[in-house]
Structure 1
């Protein structure tokens, strides 16, 4: 038995929340480099922002003293891991785990965004 499922609660969208030290720089990276579009922002100065691209949604929260974790904080499924990997390399992003085919059926790699947040990228093989 699953307690929550037994009560009929259905889950909807869930989105990664990434802490960033500088909202302007984070916005520029995710929109200009990765092609996201800002769909919401809150605060003056902006302390929270929602970005979307295709089916992906990302929430940014301003945390000026943020220190990045040494583990992956989000997983991004894509249809072309090689192209995204090449884009990350062109923009000088740190690649944490090299691009490779995994035994669990994904072509995958891990990169760091400008705030050091580790994003795990996967493409079904």
Structure 2
């Protein structure tokens, strides 16, 4: 028995929120390098921002004392993982796990954004 399912609650989108030490630098990376578009910002100075590209939505929150976790904080599915891997390498992003075919059916890699947030990127094979 599942209380939520039994009450007919349907879930909509869920978006990852990434802590960043410098909102301007994070905005530049996600918009200029990865092609996201800013659709919302709040605060003076900006302390929260929503970025969107296709079906992907990302929330950035200003956390000046942020220390990055040593694990993946988000997973992104794309339709051309090789192209995104090339973009990340060209931008100077640190590649944590190299591009490879996984036995669970994904071609994948992991990179760090400028604040050290690790993002696992995959494409179905």
Q: What range is the shorter-chain TM-score in?
A: over 0.9
> For residues 75-86 of structure 1, what are the structure 2 equivalents within 5 Å?
75-86=75-86
Measured on the aligned residues, the alpha-carbon RMSD in Å equals: 0.5
User: Any idea what SS the aligned residue of 1:13 has?
Assistant: coil
SS of the aligned residue for 2:67 comes to coil
**2:106 matched residue in structure 1:** 106
Q: 1:2 offset after TM fit, Å?
A: 1.6
- Counterpart in 2 of 1:54? 54
Runs ≥4 in structure 1, deviation > 2 angstroms? none
Q: Structure 1: any 5+ residue segments left out of the alignment?
A: none
Q: Superposed, which structure 2 residues align to 1:1-125 within 5 Å? A: 1-125=1-125
Q: For residues 18-74 of structure 1, what are the alpha-carbon distances to aligned partners after superposition, in whole Å with 9 as ceiling and x for unaligned?
A: 000000000000000000000000000000000000110000000000000000000
**What is the TM-score with the length of structure 1 in the denominator?**
0.99
- Alignment partners' CA distance in 2, 1:89 and 1:31: 16
Residue segments in structure 2 that go unaligned for 5+ positions in a row: none
